[in-house]
Chain A
Amino acid sequence: MKRFSIFLMMGLVLAFLMASCAKPPTQEMDAAKAAVEACKAEGADVYAKEEFKKLSDDLQAALDQVTAKKYKEAKQALIKIAADAEALKATIPAKKEEAKNEAIAAQQEARTAIDEAKALLEKAPRGKGTKADIEALKADLKGLEDSFPEIQAAIDNGDFFGAKDKAMAIKDKANSISEQIKQAMEKVKK
């Protein structure tokens, strides 16, 4: 009985020592937090929304483990998170570049659509039945021209998705003006 009590005591002392000697993985915590922050600063929350959300959740789960004093598991998780964040961060410039290229392509399409409408307007006969229409369409095109620099401004601000949307709206409008010019020209033919 005496020996049994000794074994039991030793086991408890050992367990207590193991628990009380462990320290929170502060270094890993700081590194993981910094890596996730850097990832966000690179634009992961915009260009890789889902992946960044998962990363943030993993970080929170690891921090919860620290709170629950599960330092060993937390440490492993934090090391993995830091590495994942680095890996995700590395993919962002390519994603950004892709979005930028799409915005620039949309901007060029909008430019082409405006130029086409302008060329059509130049060709349109300014005669009976069209002069007022053409004047009005000219004003419409001027409105588009005035709005066109907003695409570049959005690109310069890094708002590539916004720039693309703006460009698409301008392109659609320019195409619709081209259609109206064609209709005005048809009116003259008749």
Chain B
Amino acid sequence: MRLKAGLIIFLHLIAFGCYKAPVLPEAELAKKMEQRLWEAGAFDFIPADYEIFCHALRIARIHEIQAKSRFFLWRKMDRVRDEYQQLIARGEDLLRLIEDKKRQQEGSLISKLQELEIIIIRLRAISSAINESHEIRQRIIKTELFLAEAQREIGKQRYKEADHALFSARQQALSARQIVLDLFERYMNEDYLSLWQKMAQDTIDQSKKLNSPVIIIDKLERKLFVYSKGKIKSAYNVGLGRFSLANKVHAGDEATPEGKYKIIKKILNSKYYKALLLDYPNDDDKKRFAEMKRKGLIPPLIGIGGLIEIHGGGQDGLTYGCIAMENEDIDEIFPIVEIGTPVTIVGTINRESVILKLVKEL
């Protein structure tokens, strides 16, 4: 009888002891939480916290396995449940942390992107205004390509990649900016601005003294002004060469000279409608050319150049250093100027130039 009872108890113990504990819903939730963290990008945004979370999840899982493998009377599933519940709560905190980090990073990337976009808008405006576009425009395009890439990566929440693209965009934008700053170095220099203003004022005063018209050309503003008796009579838009901001030094540099010149020939039937030939190179130009040649700054076979004209053909034309006007505009000035009419070409007389403002803001 006793043997029978012992056997029954033993078999019951075995049956309950081997009874497989049910899957804990908390374990499933904790696992899902880990998946949510991974999908949210925990590995990228909070790698250390994520690592700790995963480690704790593994420990909880081991505890679960160990608890389940214990004899049913000694199973302490509540402890394991607590562990998982704590992990789920921690996971919620981490998800919020990731969202905060994402918002922060996205905000900072977007502000970097917008900053670069503003630089690009300014660079585009400057390059369009001065036509000296090749190097600048190429870099602008490259910057825009990187910006598009960055934007796409931000959309995909791939912030590291977006930051990398923004870095490359910045490099290109800075290099375009440097080209612009180099081009405008003289235009931002007070000594040059004063000199050009004085040259223009002297010429205006001359028109007053001689009672005859004079021409002043502002290269930066691309304007030709006709003054008579010290007063402005008319102003026209003009087109210049690709490297018009530079002072002409030698043949083929496609720059427009700066200095005091005069008209030496009026050409009625020019290749570009009508033309007024200037006396470039003047003595100052020849002196500067000789000095630069002596210093080896100009290759030996290159000459000083010439045939600098104010001509028709349309102000939009890119010249090799001449000043191009609309045909109807040159029609207007042609009869009022004479051989000997002073023509002063300066970098700019407008200190408040919009282009200069844009350059300063770069």
Contacts and interface: CB of A to CB of B under 8 A. Distances in A.
A65 B63 CA distance: 10
Contacts, number: 108
Nearest to B69: A70
A8 interface: yes
Interface residues of A, number: 39
A128 B136 CA distance: 23
Interface stretch (B94-102, B139-147, B197-205, B257-265): B139-147
Given A131-B317, A166-B149, A147 B38 contact: no
Contact of A7 (B6, B31, B69): B6
B130 to A, nearest CB: 10
23 contacts: A1-B2, A11-B10, A60-B54, A67-B62, A68-B62, A68-B66, A68-B69, A128-B314, A128-B316, A128-B317, A132-B131, A136-B131, A139-B135, A139-B136, A143-B140, A144-B145, A162-B161, A165-B153, A169-B149, A169-B152, A172-B148, A173-B141, A173-B145
A64 B65 contact: yes
B134 interface: yes
Contacts of A166: 145, 149
A59 B295 CA distance: 75
A132 B141 contact: no
Nearest to A3: B3
Interface of A: 1, 3-4, 7-8, 11, 53, 57, 60-61, 64-65, 67-70, 127-132, 135-136, 139-140, 142-144, 146-147, 162, 165-166, 168-170, 172-173
Interface size, B (range) = 35 or more
A144 B65 contact: no
Nearest to A7: B10
Contacts of A144: 141, 145
Nearest to A54: B35
B131 A135 contact: yes
B154 to A, nearest CB: 12
A109 to B, nearest CB: 15
A132 B14 contact: no
Given A65-B65, A128-B317, A147-B145, 5 more contacts: A68-B69, A130-B316, A168-B152, A169-B149, A169-B152
Interface in B187-245: 239, 242
A173 B137 contact: no
B127 interface: yes
Interface of B: 2-3, 6-7, 10, 14, 31, 34-35, 38, 54, 58, 61-62, 65-66, 69, 127-128, 131, 133-142, 144-145, 148-149, 152-153, 161, 239, 242, 313-314, 316-318
Given A130-B316, A136-B127, A173-B144, A146 B138 contact: yes
Given A11-B10, A172-B148, A136 B128 contact: yes
A169 B135 CA distance: 20
A139 B133 contact: yes
Secondary structure dominating the interface of B: helix
Contacts of A173: 141, 144-145, 148
Nearest to A11: B10
Contacts of B144: 173
B141 A147 contact: yes
Contacts of A68: 62, 65-66, 69
B61 A142 contact: no
A135 B318 contact: yes
Per CB-CB distance, the 9 closest pairs between chain A and chain B, nearest first, are: A143-B141, A4-B6, A68-B65, A139-B137, A143-B138, A128-B314, A169-B148, A139-B134, A136-B133
A137 to B, nearest CB: 8
Contacts of A3: 2-3, 6
Nearest to A166: B149
Nearest to B139: A143
A11 B137 contact: no
B62 A140 contact: no
Contacts of B61: 61, 64
B236 to A, nearest CB: 15
Contacts of A60: 54, 58
Contacts of A11: 10, 14
A130 B7 CA distance: 105
B355 to A, nearest CB: 15
A172 B7 CA distance: 83
A37 B14 CA distance: 42
A146 B142 contact: yes
Contacts of B313: 128
Given A68-B66, A144-B141, A147-B145, A8 B131 contact: no
